[in-house]
Amino acid sequence: MLYHLMPSLSDVNFVFNVFRYITFRAAGAVVTALMIAFVLGPIVIRRLRRAKVGQIVREVGPESHWSKAGTPTMGGVIIIMSTVLSTLLWAELTNWYTVIALVSLIWMGMIGFLDDYLKVVQGKTRGLVARYKMIGQWSFGLALGAFLVFNQISPHASTATAVPFFSDVQARFAVWSFILFTGVVVSGSSNAVNLTDGLDGLAAGLGAIAAVTLGIFAYIAGRFDMSEYLGFFYLPGAGELMIFAVALAGAAIGFLWYNAYPAQVFMGDTGSLALGGALGVMAILLKAEFLLVIVGGVFVMETLSVIIQRGFFMYTRLRFGEGRRVFRMAPIHHHFEALGWPETKVVTRFWIIGILFAMLAISTLKIR
């Protein structure tokens, strides 16, 4: 909104021209999202407590988590509202990258909200049936893929994507396979963050790290000089995605103020599906889908640990008549808890690993 209003006042004072610059608006967006989250936090927590919207803790999980039962959940609305309001205030609202990112955050948040509502309000332990949740995720992913194929928003082929570590190599998909690929990325990233959201502050911190990293790539993609020099796709207008990315990071950090151990509120599926879906969509828009595997390396580790655990358990049960486990518990953050690591140590160390993955992702710009 400010981008559309303030530059018109440059005739009054040249200082209003700063609202044209993405870096200035990005700084404003991250601070605004952070402040909104700080303000919304206590209000949302009070209302959730009043509505008795408390977390349901499964007895099959770590015993240390049983005391968390009843902690307000669905706190992801703090992240969503802070990101949306900040982006609307600072971003260019006629930009396709901005519009698609906002729609993805809200759509995935609605799916997560419905799941949380069924679990904690309606008392349905399973929440939203898995196939309906997947239908909601895949429908958006497939619709996004089709939209990008039939509506050219960049000068590059819609079905082309970058390959990390190679500046002159692109992966090109057939139209139908690209549409399916976007469905995989959107559903995969949203579910990966959802699986990671099992410890106080873990998903919020890692989500902020990943969002900032993708924001850096968005800024580079939106500048011809930098993208040309670094061998990255030049995507006119993609710089606006940096506004959304840092707003998302600021909202996640603001939420972390109340979600840090011991958590006053959990993000629930409302926040985890929205956060993961938004990260996946940003990667698709930046043609950095494969890079997302590095940026979200910890999310990938968490997902693989669940796949390995379930796959090995089913295999050994069929082969030997008794299921066996690779990890003491999955996702892998619970494995380290079972080894005796305090929850705060697991979270901090996973954050550090997340930062290392982010640095590796950024290094791909020069290792080409």
Which residue range is the domain that position 255 belongs to?
2-292
Cβ partners under 8 Å of residue 131, min gap 6: none
Looking at residue 219, its amino acid is: Y
Q: How many CB atoms lie within 10 A of CB 9?
A: 13
Residue 367 lies in a domain: no
Under the banding of pLDDT at 50, 70 and 90, the label for residue 342 is very high
Under the banding of pLDDT at 50, 70 and 90, the label for residue 195 is very high
Number of domains into which the chain is organized: 1
**Which sign does the torsion angle of CA 351, 356, 362, 364 carry?**
negative
**pLDDT exceeds 60 at position 59:** no
**Which sign does the torsion angle of CA 321, 322, 326, 332 carry?**
positive
**pLDDT exceeds 70 at position 319:** yes
Residue 49, both tokens: 């407590």
Q: Tens of pLDDT along 146-194?
A: 999 999 898 888 899 998 888 777 889 999 999 999 999 999 999 999 9
Residues 95, 106: Cα–Cα separation, whole Å: 17
Asked whether the beta carbons of 247 and 37 are under 8 A apart, the reply is no
Per-residue pLDDT at 46: 94
Under the banding of pLDDT at 50, 70 and 90, the label for residue 53 is confident
Residue 15 lies in a domain: yes
Asked whether the beta carbons of 355 and 210 are under 8 A apart, the reply is no
Residues 204, 26: Cα–Cα separation, whole Å: 20
Q: Tens of pLDDT along 203-260?
A: 999 999 999 999 999 999 999 999 988 888 899 999 999 999 999 999 999 999 999 9
Residue 93 lies in a domain: yes
pLDDT average, residue stretch 27-32: 97
Residue 349 lies in a domain: no
Residue 311 lies in a domain: no
Asked whether the beta carbons of 263 and 68 are under 8 A apart, the reply is yes
Span of 26-35, 72-81, 358-367 with lowest mean pLDDT: 358-367
Under the banding of pLDDT at 50, 70 and 90, the label for residue 72 is confident
Asked whether the beta carbons of 247 and 32 are under 8 A apart, the reply is yes
**pLDDT exceeds 70 at position 368:** no
Angle at 55 between CA 54 and CA 59, to 5 degrees: 135
Ordered alpha helix ranges (H), 260-296: 268-285, 289-295
Under the banding of pLDDT at 50, 70 and 90, the label for residue 65 is low
Q: Tens of pLDDT along 136-153?
A: 999 999 999 999 999 989
Per-residue pLDDT at 62: 66
Average pLDDT, the chain: 90
Ordered alpha helix ranges (H), the chain: 2-5, 22-50, 76-90, 96-116, 130-150, 175-196, 202-221, 224-230, 240-259, 268-285, 289-295, 297-320, 332-338, 343-363
Q: How many CA atoms lie within 13 A of 97 on its CB side?
A: 27
Q: How many CB atoms lie within 10 A of CB 207?
A: 32
Cβ partners under 8 Å of residue 345, min gap 6: none
pLDDT average, residue stretch 297-317: 96
**Which sign does the torsion angle of CA 161, 162, 164, 165 carry?**
positive
Give the residue with greater pLDDT, 186 vs 129: 186
DSSP H or E segment with residue 163: strand 160-163
**pLDDT exceeds 90 at position 54:** no
Under the banding of pLDDT at 50, 70 and 90, the label for residue 67 is low
Q: Are strands 166-172 and 160-163 parallel, antiparallel or unpaired?
A: antiparallel
Per cent of the chain over pLDDT 70 is 91
Residue 361 lies in a domain: no
